[in-house]
Each structure stands twice: as structure tokens, then as C-alpha cells.
Structure 1
Amino acid sequence: MPEIDLNTIASNVIWATFAVTVLLGIVLQQTRFCTMGAVTDVIVMGEWTRMRQWLLAIGVAMIGVGLMSYLGLIDTGKSIYTGTRLSWLSTIVGGVMFGFGMVLASGCGSKTLIRIGAGNLKSLVVFLTLALSSYMTLKGVFGVLRVNTVDTVFLTLSTSQDLPSVLAAQWGVAKNSLQLGLALVLGSALVTFALSRKDFWNFNNLLAGFGVGASILAIWWISGVLGYVAEDPNTLEEVFVATNSGRMESLTYVAPYAYVIEWLTFFSDTSKKVTLGIISVFGLVIGSLIYSLATKTFRWESFRNAEDTGNHLIGGVLMGVGGVTAMGCTIGQGLTGISTLAINSFIAFAAFVVGASLAMKYLQWRMLPPPCEPVVAGNSSTYHSNTGGCGMPLQIACHTDQFGTLGQIAPEDVAEIARQGYKSIINNRPDGEGGPTQPLSADVEVAAKALGLNYVYLPVVSGQITLEQAQEMARLLETLPGPILAFCRSGARSTNLYMLAQQVG
């Protein structure tokens, strides 16, 4: 019997995972693949493109895992997702927390790493917050709270909790065949739905769906085949080399954050080894960095204000605690877990969507401030500043000291807007929407430029904001001189567009 070199196997697992995740980082940057973006696009804009990317990735991963299982390459029963304990309450509570947190933090665990590679300092803060809170939920004070509360409520099944095992026991069918059948049916349905619209058929969308799905499959193969040892020469038991759980793993981005911090903190402890999860974190960041430098899109980005800082800190904590409680993130449960057809993973995905929806409602409420209060000058005459409110009759809602929204304006209102200190105006109302009495954009533009203000016409149909419009708004907020004033019929459309601009990317 040939000698088994566990160190060589571990090295192969690490370097293979690193190569896959570097490529994945490039794909995620190129395609803007994002769970939070997919959910918010559907909720706010009714736009399904990024959700179709997600569903395509799930379908590809599901079909691939079904085929690998049927061929005997991997056994999903040896993953963390298919145990006999169905912790439904932990999954729901943790999933909602994670979904809410990822919106506050402008992205899930994988998106945070992608943004770090692109120079986003906000995401670096989220990374540290998420890593610490996830570690505390795995082994610290939050872990004790978790174990003694939501983890006490669960169902113990007579089989593994994946659909093939449950149905095989009830129907008396071979699990192997049933897993392949379910994977082909469900996966094909998702792929068919994703590809059903011809306008979805472009390079980025197909790369996102097939690329992410293939990455999940590649890591399953790396841990389940390349890293599998039937008999560890030290323990005489089977082992999956270089995994934190000791079981077969694929991509997830919550617990690995904690393992990265632990590895860096105890670096001199030779018992702390680089694992598949740890290297996958570094791989995404480096892949994103390579793409950002190559395309000259790398730029430093920091917090806008104190509320923005608070949102990201709270979001990081919610993702760390919620992700561990739910046994995974939108990648871990939403893709990796669902590819095994685990019941808990389907519950988790639904909980992520609910949490994200609640967070979007919260942000919409937060970004609809009342008209600002007037400021009284020292000579007792009333004036209005962009940091203190709008004036009469211009009811400006001041979201930050650099951005405000307003209802329809006329050319004669521009002088008052300039007096209040605004440097740029964005018009989000299409010409003619309000009939012949609505001032034309060109007339407002003439008045703005006559006073030295920047003016941009970005018309948005009410209730039909598109992803491209949100991305353009984000670009304008980055490039136009501030303070910036955006207007539409009532200001609500501009507010929604501003909110979406904070989330896209």
C-alpha cells in the first residue's frame, strides 16, 4: 500500500482552492454577481437579471452535485449540510439576521471580500466586524447564547435532512438515483427559467451563472475527491484534508472569516494550519484586486457619514452572528447547501430574502426624512442651508450634508438652490410626464449652467427604476461636485434611486 503524504495532499487542496477562488474573484468583479443586489433589484425595481444569474448558478451547482454523487465521486451525506438534525428555528432566525445585515453592510460575505480587493475601506471594517462576531458566535459569548436558545429547538429526522434521503426512505427508492433525478428536474427548471428571456443571454450574465455554479462544483471536487483520504495513517479513519470541519466542504463566507482571524492571531502556533476556507477568503480578495488593477477601477472608498458607518458595523455583526446561527451565508447555504438539496438550506435561502426585504423597507423609511428645519442667522433674518433644510417654497429633504432631494423645480428655483450651496442638480423626471405645464429639462439646465451649476438629466419612469439607472446614479454621486440635489415629481423617485445607488456595485 503506497504511503499517504497528508502534507502533500493538503498543499494540493490549498493551491487548487486558491486558483479557483482567484478566478471566481475575477468573475464576480466582472459580472457584478451579488445576492443582495439580486434581491433588492427584484424588490425595488422589479428587475430580475441578477436574480436570474443566481438561479442559474444554483441550477448548475445542483445538477453538477447530482451527477458527481451518482457517479460516486462525492457523498453529500459527508457534508455539514445533510445531518439528521433539522435546526429550523436557528436557520430562520440566523437567516433573517444575515439578510438584514447584508443590506446594511452593502453586500454579503463574498461581496465584502470583492469590495476589499477594489479598495473599499468600508468593506474592510465589515470584514473585521463580521470575523469577530462570527468567532464569538462559534466559540464565544454569542455561541453560548445561541446554543442555549434557538439551537435547542430542532427536529431529529430518521434520515439525513436532504430531500433525496427523506424521499428515498418514504418511497423505498434508491437514494443515489433519486438524488440524480431530483437534481436534474429541479436544476433544469432553474436553468430553464434563468435562460428563458433572450435579453439575459449576454456574456456577463452567462459567465456569472455558469462561472459561480462551476466554482461551487470545483471546490466540492477538491475537498471531496482531491482531499479525501479513506484511511488517515494516524487515526485509521477517513478524513477530508485541509477542511475546518473535517468533513467535505465547498464555498462559504462566514465561519472562514473567523478562521482567518484565528490563524492570523495564532500564526506562531504551528498547529494552526491554512485550510480550504481560509485560502478561499484570500483567493477572492486577490482575484478582485487583480481585476481592479487590470481594468483601472481600483479606488479607495470610505464612509459617507456617521450613519453609514453605523449601518456597516451593525450589518457586519448581524451577518457574523446570523451566518453562524444559520450555518452559512448566501453562498454557503444559498448555493453550496442547496446544491446538496438540504432542507435547511432552502429554509435559509428564504430567510435571507425575508431579512433583505425587511432591511430595504427600513432603509427606504430612513431615507425619507422630513423637510429640513430653517436656520436663523445672527441678524434674525431666515436663511436655509443644504445642511439645515430647504427653504420655502423649496421643500428639500436633506439626506446628508452632500445630498438632498426635492419635488419638481422650475428654472426660476435654480437661483435659490444655488444660494443654498448646491453645486450639482440631477433631474430624474422624464420630460412631459406631467403634461405641458411641467418645465422642460433643457430650460432648467440653461438656468443651472448660467449660475455655474452642474446639471445631469437622468430620467426614471415611476416604479420602473432599472439596474443601469441605479449604477449611473452611483457614478454621478461619486463624480459630480457636491452638494448634489436630485429632483423628480415629488422627490420619492430620486430618494429610491439614491438608496439603490448605495447598494449597487
Structure 2
Amino acid sequence: MLISGLIVGTVLGFVLQRGRFCVTGAFRDLWTTRNSRWFTAFLVIVAVHSVGLFALQALGVITLEAEAFPWLATIVGGFIFGFAIILAGGCATGTYYRAGEGLVGSWFALIMYALFSAIMKTGPLSGFNTSMRGITIDASTIYGSLGISPWVLVAVLVVAVGLAVRHHLSKPKVKIATLPASKSGLAHVLFEKPWGAFGTAAIIGVIATVAWPLSAATGRNDGLGITTPSSKLVSFLVTGDPELVDWGVLLVVGILLGSFIAAKGSGEFRIRVPDATTIIKSIGGGALMGIGAALAGGCTIGNAMVQTAQFSFQGWTALGFMILGTGVAAKLTLMRKRPASTPTSSTSGVSV
């Protein structure tokens, strides 16, 4: 059953690359262009995932475990991670799929992210990480603290996200010039036709839901996750211990494979070497990503998508401070470079 991790990762990597879906762009646009389209798409993932998770739990397929809330580590780690993804040019999954496209800067960011997540989780800084995450309060889930059914919050989230999606879809569409199709049928849809933000988000939400029972079948009671598997991958490469290769490790390997397949099929793969300044930022950003994600207990997937779908305090707190950290980094590194009189326009979910 471990092979299902590789399959899910490959499909996820393919969808992320073809949908150009990077959470860094979603967070960044909230600050730089005041555009919430891609952030709304991200919340579509959370909403779809939340419905799926609580449905699976109601059916007895999975069990969602509640833990104490490590509030200090979540706040500090979330902010560091949000700041770091601007420097690195992508979040955890964004860095993985862009590495699969041939972006050398993402290779550096990915290596440092995996290395420093391992340093924080099982290496020299593991004691610091453990002590920080040991500062907790008993509150675990929002619905538990309110004493209500999780389905109440699920319904509120679904309605709110649905209204936001309708708002964006009601706006006039901007026509973009495209080249004549060179493929037909399924090949055209998979490798050539642009994928919409909300459709891509819904697919990712379904993938995230399916991941839970497949992962649980291997003894790993969790869904999509990037930081711990990346840490385990580094540890495996250093020690050669096959016990470290679990469902999650095969998942992240699959993301690289899937994004490479998508990039090659769409003609978007090519080796791109950035300048020295960008490489230095990628290295520093990747290292901070690993530190921040380990402290916060997850990245934009493990925290901002999986934990939020469970309505945990950790997930929603981490999401808020990731967005804040992204805003500070954007202010310091991106927005100050723009002339005040120059209007900005929204970009896709692709990171800069």
C-alpha cells in the first residue's frame, strides 16, 4: 500500500503544475494587489477537504486526533514560514513542483527546506523545537471549545467560500490571447488548455481527502504533509534506514515526479539558472521555511490546509501568521521596489 503514496503524490504534483497553484502567490496577492482570487481558491481546497474529512470520520473510515495547541511555536513558526516563502519563491508544494519544472533556484530552496526541517525535527535543533512546541494550552479544536458539532463550522465555511467564489466568477473575464491548439482530446485538456483556479482547487481538495484513508491503511493516520516527509527523506539519504521511507516520503517524491511529467508534457520544462542574488535568497528562504514549518507543526499544506480543514487552533493560527509573515516580506522585498505611481495587476498563483 505504500505505493499509493507515490501515486497520490504524482497526481498532486501534476495538478499543481498544470494549475500553476502556489499558495505563496495567493498570500502575496492579498498584500501586493489586494486581489483575493487565488486565496479564495485556496479556501476552496480547505472547504472541500473539510467536508471530506468529517464525512470520512462519520463513516468510521478515519479518526481525527486532537492534540494540545502549541500556541507560541505556531505563532513564531507560522510567521517565519510566511516570511520565508517570499524569499524562497514558493511555499513547500510550490517549491517542489517548480523544482520539477527545472527551476534551479527552487532546487536550492528545496534542499535547504528539507535539510533544516530535519535539523529541527531530529537534528541539533530538535531540543529547541521540542521545548517550543511543548508550550501548550489545552484547547485543540475550535468546535470543541465552542461545544458545537464540527458540521456547523463546515457549513459556515462552505457557504462563505461559495459566496466568495460566486463573487469572483461574476466579474467580467479578461480575454487572454492564446496560440492555436496543437493537441486534441484528453492531451489538450491535460497538457495544453489553461486550468482554472477554482477547478484546480476542487481537484486538490479531493486528492487531499483521498489521501487520508490511503495513508491510514499503511499505519500513518494523517493526510497530505510535506515537512515531516521531507525531513524523513533527508534522514533516509543520510542513514539509509528503510524504516524512514513511509507513505509521506513517497508522496513528496511523487510530487516531483508528477510536476516533471506535467512540465515535459506541456513543454514548460527547461533548466533555468537564476542570478546569484536569487540563489542566495532561495537558500536563505529554504532554510527559514524548514525552521518555520517545524516550529509551526506544518507548512501551507500540513497546517494551512489540513489542520484548518479540521478546525484546529493550530491550523487557523498558523494560517493567519503565515499570511502576516508573507505581507511583511512582500513589503520589504517586493513592494518597495515599485514606483508609487505604477499600478499593479494581479498575477496567478505562481510565485515570484
Normalised by the length of structure 1, the TM-score is 0.62
Q: Secondary structure at the match of 1:356?
A: helix
Inter-partner Cα distance in structure 1 for 2:78 and 2:10: 27
Conserved 8 A contact 1:60-1:191 = no
The alpha-carbon distance between structure 1 residues 206 and 147, as it changes in their structure 2 partners (threshold 3 A), is: closer
Residues 146-205 of structure 1: per-residue CA shift (max 9 Å, x gap): 334x33532134xxx11233233xxxx6xxxx1233222323322332233225899522
Residue 255 (structure 1) aligned with residue 228 (structure 2): yes
Residues 339-370 of structure 1: per-residue CA shift (max 9 Å, x gap): 111111100000100110111011037747xx
Inter-partner Cα distance in structure 1 for 2:263 and 2:133: 41
Match of 2:205 in 1: 213
Whichever residue aligns with residue 333 of structure 2, its letter is L
Match of 1:37 in 2: 25
Q: Secondary structure at the match of 2:167?
A: coil
Match of 1:265 in 2: 238
Residue 301 (structure 1) aligned with residue 280 (structure 2): no
Residues 384-431 of structure 1: per-residue CA shift (max 9 Å, x gap): xxxxxxxxxxxxxxxxxxxxxx99xxxxxxxxxxxxxxxxxxxxxxxx
Select which of 71, 96, 100 maps to 2:83: 100
Inter-partner Cα distance in structure 2 for 1:326 and 1:466: 29
Match of 2:295 in 1: 325
Inter-partner Cα distance in structure 1 for 2:121 and 2:3: 26
The alpha-carbon distance between structure 1 residues 250 and 62, as it changes in their structure 2 partners (threshold 3 A), is: same
> Greater share of helix residues, 1 or 2?
2
The count of residues paired between Structure 1 and Structure 2 equals 331
RMSD over aligned Cα atoms: 2.3
Whichever residue aligns with residue 255 of structure 1, its letter is T
The alpha-carbon distance between structure 1 residues 344 and 50, as it changes in their structure 2 partners (threshold 3 A), is: same
Q: How many Å apart are 1:465 and its aligned residue?
A: 1.7
Residue 19 (structure 1) aligned with residue 2 (structure 2): no
Inter-partner Cα distance in structure 2 for 1:282 and 1:17: 9
Conserved 8 A contact 1:55-1:191 = no
Select which of 90, 94, 103 maps to 1:120: 103
Match of 1:62 in 2: 50
Select which of 256, 277, 292 maps to 1:285: 256
Inter-partner Cα distance in structure 2 for 1:32 and 1:20: 18
Structure 2: any 5+ residue segments left out of the alignment?
174-193
Select which of 129, 132, 135 maps to 2:118: 135
> Greater share of strand residues, 1 or 2?
1
Conserved 8 A contact 2:97-2:256 = yes
Match of 2:133 in 1: 151
Q: How many Å apart are 1:273 and its aligned residue?
A: 4.4
Alignment of 1:411-490 (within 5 A): 462-467=342-347
Match of 1:479 in 2: none
Whichever residue aligns with residue 28 of structure 1, its letter is L
Bigger drift between 293-302 and 66-75 goes to 66-75
Conserved 8 A contact 2:25-2:347 = no
Select which of 164, 187, 206 maps to 1:193: 164
Match of 1:164 in 2: 143
Inter-partner Cα distance in structure 2 for 1:199 and 1:365: 29
Inter-partner Cα distance in structure 2 for 1:138 and 1:31: 32
Match of 1:314 in 2: 284
Match of 2:305 in 1: 335
Q: Find the structure with the greater CA-based Rg.
A: 1
Normalised by the length of structure 2, the TM-score is 0.87
Residue 46 (structure 1) aligned with residue 53 (structure 2): no
Inter-partner Cα distance in structure 2 for 1:261 and 1:45: 37
Bigger drift between 309-318 and 345-354 goes to 309-318
Match of 2:185 in 1: none
